[in-house]
Chain A
Amino acid sequence: MNELIISVAHRTLVAGTPLLLATLGEILTERSGILNLGIEGMMAAGAIGAFATTFVTGNIVLGIAVAMGIGISLSFIHAFVSVTLKGNQVVSGLALVMLGLGLSGLWGKSYVGNPLPVGTPELAIPFLVQIPYVGPILFRQDPFFFLAIILGVIFWFALKYTRWGIMVRSVGENPGASEAQGINASLVQYVSTMIGGALAGLAGAHLSLSYSRAWAEGMTGGRGWIVIALTIFALWDPLRAYLGAFLFGGIFVLQYVLQPLGIPPNILGLFPYLITLVVLVVAMAGKDSRKHSAPAMLGESYTPTS
């Protein structure tokens, strides 16, 4: 029984890790006023990029770098359309999903069914891993997990207390006033969107290198869309992103835990999506759209008057 609890909790954190990584990125992007719905596509392209690179070179770090590079390149297209061309951000995000899923399917065709020759090493934090329960759950994880946890703190601190974070937030709230203060609003939005893309790519790398250690078309399974929902659930706050990401990690794991009870797998399979809706209703309940903490200019293109 103890082992089961530890195993479920451990897997919950593993399943929540890609959600946390990508949600942190999307929080930053949206804080700067840019809505990037393309996470699903960037994640899928990142997943195959990481897998193919690692498969060929045997170098995991290189695989991760390629995945992040793909995320950055794809999000650059979105930033170009949204910031420079002031195009429709919803449609651009959807185009990004199609492009990313399509590219991943094309690139990944020859890798289907191949297991990864090398795995991501698990790191055990000395001493802390000895703590009963908590140790094996929290302190024996792969590097992605620790990275996600650390990034969450960094993002929270940076957005709240650094000059750079204040710039990002003020651009998302009022780009005109920010420019009057001497901030290059376009640059801030480009950088924020591309960091968001890098993290979506990284989340994809986690899926293919660590979570399943294989590539399959459609393996992102809607996680990119759940990330968009989690960003809203987190009310654009990196610390609340922990809660949302690991809650959903738990829901993904719950499918496997409940399977022996005789619930049809397809009914369990719709849980994450159904719960996403329920969680959003609960998160948004009683909140006026003007009062909750969405960046004021989210998704709106800004035209300088000069």
Chain B
Amino acid sequence: MGIRIKVEPRISHPPILPLTILVISLSMGFLGIGVLFAFYGINPFAAIWKIFSGSFGSLYGLSETMTKAIPLILIGAGLTLVFRAKFWNIGAEGQLLLGAIFSGYVGLNLGSLIPSFFTVPVMFMAGFIGGALWALPTVILRTKFNVNEVISTLMLNYIAAEILNFLITGPWKGKTQMGFPYTDDLPHHATLTLIPGTRIHIVTLVVALLSALILYVLVYYTKFGYELRVTGDNPHAARYAGINFMKITMTMMTISGGLAGVAGVGELAGIHHHLSYPSSISSGYGYTAIIVAWLAKLNPLMAIFSGIFFAGILVGGDAIQISLGLPSATVQIFNGILLFSLIMGDYFLTHRVRVVVQA
């Protein structure tokens, strides 16, 4: 008698399978995180309980989770679009910073030139433009110069961070900030209204939810969405069908970069009210949003839920960092392990693994 493990491709799968695999993948991910905690002499059950109770277990935790979900939904929804066409935009972090810089300029300098009622809308527009402008060169580099977009988007992240550092320590350094490397605070009419008692900037939240919904319709119910999906599934077929790769990529990178820029406006005008170090304006939202998009199975609408889920991981991660004295990098480990468990799970969607007992 012998036992063999047999792997065969699946032709079809029951409708419940994706959800089952998702749940199992995430559980395996948390198991991995638990092992790491145990290795560090920390009770894994207590730690994982702390992550979720810290993020979803109290009104304060929930409000912080929603606050951090705003940039993740905005960027994650945009990334579902570009990843679908297999254009690897890893540059949302830089696009977010450019959005903050552009809208910061408007908020700090144009306040006296435009009616105060228009300031916030103009800031959102400026942020969208800033993010999109930071995204578009990578399309030209890819289509005209054959430069891999993973590299170009990443390099632009570092460049954006250095530009922001330069601005806050140099020409834009605020005179009212007692020597700290911040710009002056935005005037009151250039800041966003919060839900009382929370840090949830309601306008950006609404924009994020609407964006996810609109992108969902765009991907599944329009000609553009169809062309986008064909380009991703089969670039050769797309070319023969006369689909213009450059045009598709330009459009979706404008949207993806622009939404990251909008996330930057939200962080600046809703939370910080002045520009400061890149790592305080964005705590890695541009990178975390990559996992948000992947967990959402590249469905923009699902990015809402996966955005909230990963915002919870960020908030819960902060909670255990403080209570257990762990460094902020810990959350990156969670992100890495969870992303690995998600892509490993994908295998079981397309393959069936059976244990065969032979007599």
Contact = CB atoms under 8 A, between A and B. Distances in A.
Interface stretch (A12-20, A54-62, A102-110, A183-191): A102-110
B93 to A, nearest CB: 12
B148 A105 contact: no
B159 interface: yes
A196 B324 CA distance: 35
A248 B12 CA distance: 50
B26 interface: no
Interface residues of A, number: 47
B147 A102 contact: no
Nearest to B331: A102
Interface string A195-233: 000000000000000000000010000100100110010
A90 B344 CA distance: 13
A151 interface: no
A284 B155 contact: no
B268 to A, nearest CB: 19
A228 B151 contact: yes
A8 to B, nearest CB: 22
Nearest to A112: B327
B170 A264 contact: yes
Interface stretch (A159-167, A168-176, A265-273): A265-273
A289 B146 contact: yes
Interface string B305-334: 000000000000000000000111111111
A178 B337 CA distance: 33
B174 interface: no
Contacts of B150: 37, 90, 228
B233 interface: no
B333 to A, nearest CB: 3
Given A264-B170, A281-B141, A289-B146, A95 B343 contact: yes
Contacts of B148: 228-229, 232, 280
Given A90-B88, A106-B327, A99 B344 contact: no
Q: Tell me what chain A mostly uses at the interface: helix, strand, loop, or mixed.
A: helix
Contacts of A274: 155, 159
A91 B341 CA distance: 11
Interface residues on B, range: 35 or more
A281 B329 contact: no
A125 interface: no
A90 B163 CA distance: 27
A85 interface: yes
Interface string B160-178: 0011011001100000000
Contacts of A53: none
Contacts of B327: 105-106, 109, 217
A81 interface: yes
B329 A217 contact: yes
Q: Tell me what chain B mostly uses at the interface: helix, strand, loop, or mixed.
A: helix
Given A91-B294, A98-B287, A98-B336, A232 B151 contact: yes
Nearest to A101: B332
Given A81-B343, A94-B290, A102-B335, A284 B147 contact: yes
B180 interface: no
Nearest to B138: A277
B118 interface: no
Given A92-B343, A102-B335, A217-B327, A273 B155 contact: yes
A105 B162 contact: no
Contact of B162 (A109, A217, A269, A292): A269
A284 B336 contact: no
Nearest to A230: B151
A225 B335 contact: no
Interface in B134-163: 141, 145-148, 150-152, 154-156, 158-159, 162-163
A74 to B, nearest CB: 10
B97 interface: no
B304 interface: no
A30 to B, nearest CB: 12
Interface string B66-79: 00000000000000
A209 to B, nearest CB: 21
Contacts of A217: 327, 329
A266 B335 CA distance: 29
A252 to B, nearest CB: 13
B293 to A, nearest CB: 10
A27 interface: no
B339 interface: yes
Interface string A276-305: 110011001101010010000000000000
B163 A287 contact: no
A274 B94 CA distance: 14
A88 B331 contact: no
Contacts of B96: none
17 contacts: A37-B150, A81-B340, A91-B343, A95-B339, A103-B333, A106-B330, A109-B327, A222-B158, A232-B151, A264-B169, A269-B165, A270-B158, A270-B159, A273-B158, A281-B147, A284-B146, A285-B145
Given A217-B329, A273-B155, 16 more contacts: A90-B88, A96-B336, A97-B336, A99-B333, A99-B340, A104-B329, A109-B327, A222-B154, A232-B148, A264-B170, A266-B170, A270-B162, A276-B151, A281-B141, A281-B147, A287-B146
Interface of B: 40, 88, 90, 141, 145-148, 150-152, 154-156, 158-159, 162-163, 165-166, 169-170, 287, 290, 294, 326-337, 339-340, 343-344, 346-347
Nearest 6 Cβ contacts at the A-B interface:
A105-B329, A99-B336, A102-B332, A102-B333, A98-B336, A266-B166
